[in-house]
């Protein structure tokens, strides 16, 4: 096996497409493995011996909802901390922090296994607390390159695919290995621990952007507090519109992600007879997102690249409303509707964490990192996810038909998300284009 120095030297001298494929593989596998520590718990249904819904400390909040909210709270807090931490972290410490996040999460999952149901919320919160940093640490390796769209599209496919696959693995571990709902998350995490370590080591060999990358996409470096404040001040109204849209979009994506098992059951696709249905749907979604995002690298002009990114996001939220209408009018079945709303949600969601701010920074010639803007959005977005979870349980809950109630809420949410997304995406695009018009004229 080549040494650390020799592997990096090989990569520094590799042609662009070999380096791109290497970057996609290592970033994809790193983030994919991380999801094995975050999402398997949501494959459990948390029912009592008679099949009834378990409630958190006998309140009106379902136990699964409480667990989902608790992890999101940890994840959201991690994003708030990441606004400073991930935008300032030095390149020499990224791999160490990546390893540390997952080791901490695995220990929390062990605590989750030992604890009684109602107290699992403490340990699932602790799993979210470090894992929210992983995205920013990985994006640092990929942004600011002429092929960043391709790299980030490949990375984004990881969490689309991983979310479904690790839940299917969790169901398999419980059904075929006889592992309880208590210990299933820790077992799944342990299966991915060594692959995660190897992936991080390989990712850490990625060379820094070269002179051509910096010429086209602007030099990237850690941002201090003054630079972060100036960035927000300069783009305040556009960022505000994006934050509001992301507030709802994160909640929408999270809701679909966490309750797919229940909604597929309500659509007459019981999980016991369709054990790979989530993986099937998410595989189609991942490829549907990968292609348009990867093709953005063909647009070399950053202004048109920004417009192209918004076109993808707008097509996503439009698909939410159109596919929901088609499902309600029997034009498509439940499987294709869940696939279409997943595709629409991720077409709108994924650019936030990848190409949107990479293009905006390149278009505005801003000294800094896209990771900072990404973490502003994530922090506030996951706050919205918590609010929606609580709202659903108190206003759309039905103890006799809980799966149907979740589905009804999601249908209404799809129309709302489409309307909010179209208005705010169009408004923020016009704003950003006007704020960076002088830069475009210089480029022309």
All structural domains of the chain: 4-436 (1.20.1250.20)
Question: Considering only CA atoms, which of 379, 79, 377, 84 is closest in space to residue 225?
Answer: 84
Q: DSSP states of 214-270 as a string?
A: HHHH--B----HHHHHHHHHHTHHHHHHHHHHHHHHHHHHHHHHHTHHHHHHHTT--
Residue 221: partners with Cβ closer than 8 Å, 6 or more residues away: 367, 368, 369
Q: Is 8 exposed, middle or buried (0-12, 13-18, 19+ CB in 10 A)?
A: middle
DSSP symbol at 117 = G
pLDDT score, position 397: 64
List the pLDDT tens digit at each of the 444 positions of the chain.
444 457 878 888 888 888 889 999 999 999 999 999 998 888 887 876 666 767 778 776 788 888 988 998 898 888 888 877 877 788 888 999 999 999 999 999 999 999 998 899 999 999 999 998 998 899 888 877 877 778 887 888 888 888 888 988 998 899 889 999 899 999 999 999 999 999 999 999 998 877 776 676 565 566 667 777 787 788 889 888 998 998 899 889 888 987 887 898 889 887 666 667 888 888 899 889 888 887 887 888 888 989 999 999 999 999 999 999 999 999 999 999 999 999 999 999 988 876 787 788 777 666 656 667 777 777 777 777 777 777 776 776 665 677 888 899 999 999 999 999 999 999 999 999 988 765 444 444
**Residue 275 CA: distances (Å) to CA of 43, 171, 192:** 11, 8, 21
CA angle 424, 160, 241 (to 5 degrees): 15
The tokens of 400 are what? Answer: 């006799």
Residue showing tokens 């994506």: 253
Residue 158: partners with Cβ closer than 8 Å, 6 or more residues away: 27, 28, 29, 30, 31, 32, 35
Residue 106: partners with Cβ closer than 8 Å, 6 or more residues away: 37, 186, 189, 190, 193
Buried b (16+ CB within 10 A) or exposed e, 389-423: beebbeebbeeeebbebbbebbbebbeebbebbbe
Task: In whole angstroms, give the CA distance from residue 104 to residue 127.
Answer: 7
Question: Considering only CA atoms, which of 387, 278, 251, 338 is closest in space to residue 43?
Answer: 278
Q: Is 315 exposed, middle or buried (0-12, 13-18, 19+ CB in 10 A)?
A: middle
Helices 402-435 and 370-395, interaxial angle, to 10°?
150
Residue 349: partners with Cβ closer than 8 Å, 6 or more residues away: 246, 249, 250, 253, 316
Phi/psi of residue 47, each to 5°? -110, 155
Question: Considering only CA atoms, which of 424, 433, 414, 308 is closest in space to residue 363?
Answer: 433
Cβ contact 226:161 at 8 Å: no
Task: In whole angstroms, give the CA distance from residue 379 to residue 393.
Answer: 22
The tokens of 312 are what? Answer: 């993808």
Half-sphere exposure of 276 (CA within 13 A, CB side): 3
Q: Is 261 exposed, middle or buried (0-12, 13-18, 19+ CB in 10 A)?
A: buried
Residue 400 three-state SS: coil
Question: Considering only CA atoms, which of 435, 33, 41, 9 is closest in space to residue 239?
Answer: 435
Residue 394: partners with Cβ closer than 8 Å, 6 or more residues away: 60, 61
pLDDT score, position 369: 63
**What contacts 24+ positions apart, CB below 8 Å, involve 57-61?**
57/118, 60/393, 60/394, 60/397, 61/390, 61/393, 61/394
Helices (H), 89-183: 94-114, 120-131, 134-139, 148-177
């Amino acid at each position: 096996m080549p040494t650390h120095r020799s592997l990096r030297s090989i990569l520094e001298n590799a042609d662009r497409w070999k380096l791109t494929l290497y970057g996609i593989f290592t970033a994809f596998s790193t983030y994919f493995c991380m999801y094995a520590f975050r999402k398997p718990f949501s494959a459990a249904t948390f029912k009592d011996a008679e099949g009834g819904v378990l409630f958190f400390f006998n309140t009106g909040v379902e136990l699964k909802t409480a667990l989902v909210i608790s992890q999101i709270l940890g994840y959201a807090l991690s994003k708030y901390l990441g606004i400073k931490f991930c935008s300032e972290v030095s390149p020499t410490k990224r791999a160490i922090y990546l390893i540390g996040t997952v080791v901490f999460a695995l220990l929390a999952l062990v605590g989750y296994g030992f604890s009684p149901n109602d107290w699992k919320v403490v340990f699932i919160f602790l799993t979210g607390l470090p894992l929210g940093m992983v995205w920013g640490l990985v994006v640092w390796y990929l942004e600011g390159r002429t092929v960043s769209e391709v790299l980030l599209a490949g990375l984004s496919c990881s969490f689309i695919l991983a979310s479904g696959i690790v839940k299917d693995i969790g169901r398999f571990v419980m059904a075929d290995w006889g592992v309880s709902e208590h210990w299933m998350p820790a077992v799944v995490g342990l299966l991915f621990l060594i692959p995660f370590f190897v992936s991080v080591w390989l990712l850490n060999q990625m060379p820094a952007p070269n002179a051509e990358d910096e010429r086209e996409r602007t030099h990237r470096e850690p941002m201090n507090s003054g630079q972060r404040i100036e960035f927000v001040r300069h783009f305040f109204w556009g960022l505000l519109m994006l934050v509001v849209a992301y507030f709802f979009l994160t909640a929408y994506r999270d809701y679909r992600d966490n309750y797919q098992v229940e909604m597929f059951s309500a659509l007459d696709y019981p999980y016991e007879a369709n054990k790979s249905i989530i993986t099937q749907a998410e595989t189609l979604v991942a490829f549907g997102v990968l292609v348009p995002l990867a093709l953005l690298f063909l647009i070399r002009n950053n202004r048109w690249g920004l417009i192209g990114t918004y076109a993808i996001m707008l097509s996503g939220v439009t698909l939410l409303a159109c596919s929901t209408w088609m499902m309600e009018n029997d034009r498509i079945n439940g499987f294709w509707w869940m696939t279409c709303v997943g595709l629409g949600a991720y077409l709108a969601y994924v650019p936030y964490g990848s190409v949107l701010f990479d293009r905006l920074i390149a278009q505005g010639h801003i000294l800094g990192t896209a990771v900072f803007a990404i973490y502003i959005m994530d922090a506030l977005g996951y706050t919205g996810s918590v609010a929606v979870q609580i709202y659903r349980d108190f206003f759309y809950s039905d103890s006799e038909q809980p799966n149907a109630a979740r589905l009804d809420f999601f249908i209404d949410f799809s129309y709302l998300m489409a309307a909010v997304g179209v208005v705010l995406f169009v408004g923020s695009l016009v704003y950003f284009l006007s704020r960076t018009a002088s830069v475009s004229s210089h480029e022309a």
